[in-house]
């Protein structure tokens, strides 16, 4: 079953076309790597999927609900990590996670349990009592990921979740995301191609607002008729060179 379904999605900012007629779908339990050069329209696509921006044309459905027609149903099923982690610098990590959990409809008596669960998953347990503005970039990013996991949403949209992390933390977040496969449908945007190869089975590459590749990584890297394997990086550079 397609958990995320995008049809002919187009977004124009006045006369500039940010994304142009995207069509793709992500099945339940899949992790989709979402790639593209800077300014290709990744963030715009994700903002439309989360209901933050309306599309100019086309439709996007999450779990069968149209993001524009039934935004509340969609938002209830969605965890979103924007490009910049949306944190309140003055709050403590626990205060912040409790606030977001409440907004996402976690009942009062389950707040502690839920905050403990996501902070354990993302490794921020030790900094729960600390004020966010005093945290390192890596911790802030992980608090951002923790926030997206609250209330265990079936669909996760993560805009560069490993940005600013060191290699160890990156590996941790990667294995966390891999662990989400099966129960969660994830769209993962990143610059690091190596990371996509390690976490995702399928990849969607866009360039200048258009899809240039949407396939399983295996199929992309084993070029048809050739025996040699090409790396995702070479494919990416070839496809986005325009």
Tell me which residues touch other proteins (CB under 8 A): 47, 50-54, 72, 75-76, 78, 80, 82-91, 95, 99-100, 102-105, 147
CB 54 to other proteins: min, Å = 6
CB 17 to other proteins: min, Å = 17
Nearer to other proteins, 55 or 217 (CB): 55
The token duo for 137 is 């970039």
Per-residue CA distances from 182 to 27, 69, 123, 147 (Å): 10, 27, 22, 20
CB 36 to other proteins: min, Å = 20
Query: Given the structure tokens 């996760």, which residue do they identify?
Result: 156
Nearer to other proteins, 111 or 181 (CB): 111
Nearer to other proteins, 76 or 210 (CB): 76
CB 114 to other proteins: min, Å = 14
CA atoms within 13 A on the CB side of 187: 30
Q: How far apart are CA 235 and CA 12, in angstroms?
A: 28
CB 194 within 8 A of CB 236: no
Nearer to other proteins, 50 or 121 (CB): 50
Q: How far apart are CA 88 and CA 35, in angstroms?
A: 29
Q: How far apart are CA 96 and CA 115, in angstroms?
A: 10
CB 55 to other proteins: min, Å = 11
- Buried-state track 168-181, b at ≥16 Cβ within 10 A, e below 16: ebbebbbebbeebe
Nearer to other proteins, 137 or 194 (CB): 137
């Amino acid at each position: 079953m397609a958990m995320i379904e995008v049809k002919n999605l187009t977004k124009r900012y006045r006369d500039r076309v940010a994304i142009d007629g995207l069509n793709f779908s992500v099945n339940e339990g899949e992790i989709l790597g979402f790639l593209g050069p800077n300014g290709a329209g990744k963030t715009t696509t994700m903002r439309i999927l989360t209901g933050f921006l309306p599309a100019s044309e086309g439709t996007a459905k999450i779990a069968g609900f149209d993001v524009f027609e039934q935004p509340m149903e969609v938002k209830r099923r969605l965890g979103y990590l924007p490009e910049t982690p949306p944190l309140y610098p003055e709050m403590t990590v626990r205060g912040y996670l409790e606030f977001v959990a409440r907004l996402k409809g976690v009942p009062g008596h389950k707040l502690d349990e839920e905050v403990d669960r996501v902070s354990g998953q993302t490794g921020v347990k030790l900094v729960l009592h600390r004020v966010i503005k005093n945290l390192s970039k890596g911790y802030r990013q992980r608090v951002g990921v923790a926030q997206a996991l609250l209330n265990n949403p079936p669909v996760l949209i993560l805009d560069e979740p490993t940005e600013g992390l060191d290699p160890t933390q990156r590996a941790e977040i990667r294995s966390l995301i891999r662990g989400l496969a099966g129960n969660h449908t994830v769209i993962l945007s990143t610059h690091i191609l190596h990371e996509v190869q390690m976490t995702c089975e399928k990849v969607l590459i866009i360039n200048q607002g258009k899809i240039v590749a949407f396939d399983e990584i295996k199929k992309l890297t084993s070029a048809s008729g050739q025996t040699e394997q090409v790396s995702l990086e070479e494919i990416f550079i070839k496809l986005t060179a325009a």
